[in-house]
Amino acid sequence: MPDLFDPIELRGLKLPNRIIISPMCQYSAVDGNATSWHTAHLSSQALGGAGLLCLEATAVTAEGRITPGCLGLWNEANAAALAEVVNVLRASSPIKLAIQLAHAGRKASSAAPWDGGQLIAPENGGWLPRAPSALPHKDGEPPPLAMSADDLARTARAFVEAARRAVRLGFDAIELHAAHGYLLHQFLSPISNHRADEYGGSLENRMRFPLEVFQAVRAALPERMPLGVRVSATDWVDDEPSWTPEQTVAFGLRLKELGADWIDVSSGGVSPKQQIPVGPGYQVPLAELLKREVGLPTIAVGLITAAQQAQQIVAEGKADMVALARAALYDPRWAWHAAAELDRQVDGPPQYWRSLPSGKNRVFGDTSFGMR
């Protein structure tokens, strides 16, 4: 059976283990530009021995930011600022790097979580979001602008242009964000998509724009560069038509046909009415369903915190990889500690070799490494 510390190949990218550092929004950019905080935060995660580090949801347009502090890649200034961070990561760690490209849709122009997370009006420094339909995310909010055909074409081009910048920056992989109630998920879900044109109504129509974006980005990437998609496998809303696991399987099969390299399986986010049964590994069954029914490599996420828990998910074939967020923030050396607990080995920079764990007794690795 596969092991958490077995390598895995995603198209032309070989990862040394199946531990992924999940995209985690930091709300600390300035005009979309990465700052010193990103260097500090990502450096701490890059040195922990995971197989892949995926940068936070990165907006492909200024209007597509969740908050005014969200990272962006819609212009060359954004790319130049991010290049400085990437250069530090490349100089200090062998970890592979991915970036998640996103557009927030109707959830854009929000305050940072520590400032309440609510919609910011244009007169208070926000902007008017664009979405599939003129339906607000929450009752009492002003509606977003329904996207025109020109808006759709412009947004698809923005995804492609951001992907090309990511290639030039030297990222190893790209993930498209089609989850958590953001734009691509908004098109998929009948809760947020009430369009009457070819992009709304039937499942085929609701999938059309996300699939067009995927196909355009895939065509813009080098052949050997992997491209994955994060999905919300269910809206967790039962009292109205919503996005379901069965529809996610249909979407996954289409992505597979178009050349997707993995599915990152999350859930929820499109409606305040969601009822989520939160608990350890609560989304793992959704990843298991997608792995079984679609056949693409899958990433399981959601309150995966313990080494034995992660190992069991992979060894039992419930998912091919596990992604950590809160657990990695709490313990940036999570992979080291998991390797020690599971009697495995993990890579790290040579400057840290003396402290790398080896064996169940947590014996430090190369005790002969040192000064005369």
In a domain, 352, yes or no: yes
How would residue 356 be classed by pLDDT, with cut points 50, 70 and 90?
A: confident
Q: Of residues 182, 199, 282, 330, which has the active-site annotation?
A: 182
In a domain, 310, yes or no: yes
In a domain, 2, yes or no: no
What is the mean pLDDT of the segment spanning 81-98? 97
CA distance 313 to 311: 6
Instruction: Please state, as a whole number, how many other Cβ atoms lie within 10 Å of the Cβ of residue 42.
Output: 24
Above pLDDT 70, what percent of the chain? Answer: 96
Q: pLDDT tens digit string along 311-336?
A: 999 999 999 999 999 999 999 999 99
Is the model's pLDDT at 370 over the cut of 90? Answer: no
- How many Cα neighbours within 13 Å face the side chain of 150? 1
Is the model's pLDDT at 372 over the cut of 60? Answer: no
In a domain, 271, yes or no: yes
Is the model's pLDDT at 367 over the cut of 50? Answer: no
pLDDT for the residue numbered 203 = 98
Give me the chain's average pLDDT, please. Answer: 94
Total domains in the chain come to 1
How would residue 44 be classed by pLDDT, with cut points 50, 70 and 90?
A: very high
Per-residue tokens: 74: 């819609």
In a domain, 1, yes or no: no
In a domain, 370, yes or no: no
Instruction: Annotate the chain with three-state secondary structure.
Output: CCCCCCCEEECCEEECCCEEECCCCCCCCECCECCHHHHHHHHHHHCCCCCEEEEEEEECCHHHCCCCCCCECCCHHHHHHHHHHHHHHHHHCCCEEEEEEECCHHHCCECCHHHCCCECCHHHCCCCCEECCCCCCCCCCCCCEECCHHHHHHHHHHHHHHHHHHHHHCCCEEEEEECCCCHHHHHHCCCCCCCCCCCCCCHHHHHHHHHHHHHHHHHHCCCCCCEEEEEECCCCCCCCCCCCHHHHHHHHHHHHHCCCCEEEEECCCCCCCCCCCCCCCCCHHHHHHHHHHHCCCEEECCCCCCHHHHHHHHHCCCCCEEEECHHHHHCCCHHHHHHHHHCCCCCCCHHHHHHCEECCCCEECCCCCCCC
Q: 166: domain range? A: 8-364
pLDDT for the residue numbered 294 = 98
In a domain, 92, yes or no: yes
How would residue 297 be classed by pLDDT, with cut points 50, 70 and 90?
A: very high
Is the model's pLDDT at 97 over the cut of 90? Answer: yes
Q: Which CATH number belongs to the domain containing residue 228 in this structure?
A: 3.20.20.70
Question: Which residues are within 8 A (CB) of 235 and not within 5 positions of it... i.e. 6 or more apart?
Answer: 189, 191, 242, 243, 244, 267, 268, 270, 271, 274
CA distance 65 to 235: 22
- How many Cα neighbours within 13 Å face the side chain of 311? 15
- Which residue carries 């007794």 as its tokens? 361
pLDDT for the residue numbered 359 = 52
> Catalytic annotation on 352?
no
pLDDT for the residue numbered 349 = 79
CA distance 338 to 281: 17
What is the mean pLDDT of the segment spanning 266-291? 96
Is the model's pLDDT at 345 over the cut of 90? Answer: no
Is the model's pLDDT at 70 over the cut of 90? Answer: yes
Q: pLDDT tens digit string along 143-197?
A: 999 999 999 999 999 999 999 999 999 999 999 999 999 999 999 999 999 999 9
Instruction: Please state, as a whole number, how many other Cβ atoms lie within 10 Å of the Cβ of residue 312.
Output: 15
Is the model's pLDDT at 358 over the cut of 80? Answer: no
CA distance 44 to 304: 19
- The dihedrals phi and psi of 215, each to the nearest 5 degrees, come to -65, -40
Judged by average pLDDT, the poorest of 41-55, 279-293, 340-354 is: 340-354
Q: CB–CB of 132/147 below 8 Å?
A: yes
Is the model's pLDDT at 371 over the cut of 70? Answer: no
